[in-house]
Amino acid sequence: MALRPTVYIETYGCQMNVSDTELMLGKLTASGYESVEQPDGADVILINTCAIRDHAEQRVIGRLGEIKSKMKRDAVLGVTGCMAQRLGSQLLDRVKHVSLVIGPDGYRELPSLIESARGGVKATAVDFDLEEHYEDFTPRRFDGVKAWIPVQRGCDYKCTYCIVPTTRGPERSRQLSEVVRETEAVIASGISEVVLLGQTVNSYYDGKHDFADLLRAVGSVPGIRRLRFTSPHPNDFSERVIRAMAEIEAFCEHVHLPMQSGSTRTLRRMLRRYTREKYLECVDRLRAAIPRLALTTDVIVGFPGETEEDFQETLTAIEAVGFDDAYTFKFSLRDGTPATRFPASDTISDDVASERLARLIATVRAGSRERNMGLIGARREVLVEKSARRGGLLQSRTRDFKTVMIPGDVSLIGKYLQVELTGTTGSTFLGQVVGQRAALPMAV
Ligand code: SAH
Ligand code: SF4
Ligand code: F3S
């Protein structure tokens, strides 16, 4: 029997890209490819890329150079994802050993384009397809404990710093019934935690159902134990959605709520469509409905025209909210985004941005350390996710998204345990197991 051709996919960027890689691998393995863990000697190598910051693209360019030395002579190298969409055929010119450039809506063509490329025909596929949700693909999931389920593709906001609307196209939502079908399939496979994915996931609308309907439908699939979503936009939290979150038992007490800035002036220039006050009000509404809600966020520093005063407002907003954690970024100017039209005099120097970033990180850390210290001695239910890199421990997670390291062996992965939080590094916890919940039948 002839050996099956092998495919290796390396993924950069957000969970949406990870989810797309799962779809691509599903499609390719169904088309006769064997998935391998290393690029060395693979017949097909795909790099699924991110374009969100310049640094993300530079990493990919560097990686494409490294991959060249690992490629066998007749291997096909393809670039997929957001950078592929952004640069299109330019990538074929710039990196000669790349033969395929395929954007996020072009993965249906993968098997045929790879076939042609193996015959020496290079190709670019970067058209948007507003109908495309890859409903007939069966994703090949990497994570055996939680399932990432895309419910929306693209983005209709136009935040002035952001490349995503360019790389992922207009917003479109999957049909609720398809999301429920996929949820039922992952539950039947033994996974009990589901994370719904979209760029502004709470603006979900399939023509008939809004995000509240979707949450209720997914949250009532038998066997679901944990339900999360990422990332919501602060403007799309209707009362219906918040009520659904509060009422669904599986919904976990954590929301990642990107703030970007605490200065109304900066938020306006970012075209985020909310003010500092509106953001804080959204936090209050969520907390009033969901006691013990943990909040994390994204913040950008050094946005064009950001003054020290604006930055101070970001720091005070962070303190006012009391985030559990935050992803912090230095602004990166992306070609083709509206932010390129700010006058050069608005540019914040790298020194100033770096210095603000350091102060921002210190503020975030101080706040989360204080919150986490207050949790020592508390009991929580955790789901064991994987082996930790450190000394024989397991990494587990609470419903409110705290990472807890616990002793135990790999047979506990995928199990729910009761733990007492016994220590914290400030960000992650050490825990002692105090009980195990009876296992539910795998398929319900
Ligand atoms: N759709 C999500 C964000 C996706 S991008 C949302 O609206 O919240 C993830 C994060 O990257 C953003 O929240 C933002 O903080 C950051 N980001 C996006 N573009 C950036 C840029 N040009 N420079 C620096 N950070 C950026
Ligand atoms: Fe980018 Fe804004 Fe859309 Fe998020 S909401 S993906 S930050 S344009
Ligand atoms: Fe990056 Fe594209 Fe996600 S730009 S952050 S991989 S949507």
Burial of 425 (0-12, 13-18, 19+ CB in 10 A): exposed
Q: Report residue 255 as tokens.
A: 């929301």
Specify the DSSP element, H or E, that contains 435: strand 429-436
Cβ burial, residue 430 (10 Å; 0-12/13-18/19+): middle
Q: How far is the CA of 13 from the centre of ligand 3 (A)?
A: 5
Distance CA 181, CA 160 (A): 36
> Atom of ligand 1 at shortest distance to CA of 161?
22
Q: Tell me the pLDDT band of 436, cut-offs 50, 70 and 90.
A: confident
Please determine, for residue 279, whether its predicted confidence score (pLDDT) is greater than 80: yes
Average pLDDT over residues 44-72: 96
| Whole-number average pLDDT of the chain | 95
197 lines ligand 3 (CB under 6 A): no
Res 1 pLDDT > 50: no
The CA distances from residue 299 to 237, 241, 331, 427, in Å, are: 19, 24, 9, 18
Centre of ligand 1 to C-alpha 52, Å, is: 7
Is there an atom of ligand 3 within 6 Å of 84 CB? no
Task: Categorize the per-residue pLDDT at 435 as very low, low, confident or very high, splitting at 50, 70 and 90.
Answer: confident
Q: Is the CB of 159 under 6 A from ligand 2?
A: yes
**Which residue from 78, 69, 21 is spatially nearest to 47, judged by alpha carbons?**
78
Q: How would CATH label the architecture of 146-372?
A: Alpha-Beta Horseshoe (3.80)
* Residue 125 pLDDT > 70: yes
Which-ligand-closest: CA of 156? 2
Instruction: Tell me, letter by letter, the H, E, C secondary structure of 17-58.
Output: HHHHHHHHHHHHHHCCCEECCCCCCCCEEEEEECCCCHHHHH
165 Cβ below 6 A of ligand 2? yes
Nearest CA to ligand 3 atom 3: 14
- Ligand 3 mean position, distance from CA 62 (Å): 18
Ligand nearest to the CA of 272: 2
Proximal ligand: closest to the CA of 14: 3
The total of other beta-carbon atoms located within 10 Å of residue 319's CB is 14
Q: Please say if the pLDDT value at position 218 is more than 60.
A: yes
Task: Give the CB-side neighbour count of residue 341, counting CA atoms within 13 A.
Answer: 6
Pocket residue to mutate for ligand 1, from 19, 54, 162, 314, most atoms within 8 A of Cβ: 162
Is residue 103 within 8 A of residue 84, CB to CB? The reply is yes
Question: Within 13 Å, how many C-alpha atoms sit on residue 393's CB side?
Answer: 16
60 phi, psi to nearest 5 deg: -65, -45
With beta carbons less than 8 A apart as the criterion, state whether 134 and 21 touch: no
Instruction: Read off the pLDDT band of 2 (50, 70, 90).
Output: low
Mean local confidence (pLDDT), 241-256: 98
The Cα 314–Cα 132 span in angstroms is 38
> Which has the minimum average pLDDT: 96-105, 156-165, 233-242, 427-436?
427-436
Q: What confidence tens digit (pLDDT) does each residue in 299-333 have?
A: 999 999 999 999 999 999 999 999 999 999 999 99
Exposure of 42 in the CB half-sphere (CA atoms within 13 A): 23
Q: Which residues pair with 8 in a beta bridge?
A: 45
- Give 379-439's CATH code, choosing from 3.40.50.850, 2.40.50.140, 2.140.10.10, 3.30.1330.20: 2.40.50.140
Domain with CATH 3.40.50.12160 in the chain: 6-125
Selection from 298, 299, 314, 301 nearest residue 351 by Cα = 301
Evaluate if residue 444 carries a pLDDT over 50: no
Ligand 1 contacts CB of residue 303 (under 6 A): no
Q: What is the pLDDT confidence band of residue 437, given thresholds at 50, 70 and 90?
A: low
Rg of the chain taking only CA atoms, in angstroms: 22
- Of the candidates 292, 256, 255, 288, the one whose C-alpha atom is nearest the C-alpha of residue 380 is 292
Tell me the two tokens of residue 3.
């050996």
Dump pLDDT digits (tens) for 189-217. Answer: 999 999 999 999 999 999 999 999 999 99
CA atoms within 13 A on the CB side of 153: 23
Nearest by Cα to 33 from 115, 142, 117, 148: 115
Q: Could you report the per-residue pLDDT of 345-403, keeping only the tens digit for each?
A: 999 999 999 999 999 999 999 999 999 999 999 999 999 999 988 778 999 999 999 99
CATH number of 6-125: 3.40.50.12160
- CATH 2.40.50.140 residue spans of the chain: 379-439
How far apart, in whole angstroms, are the C-alpha atoms of residue 420 and residue 322?
Answer: 23
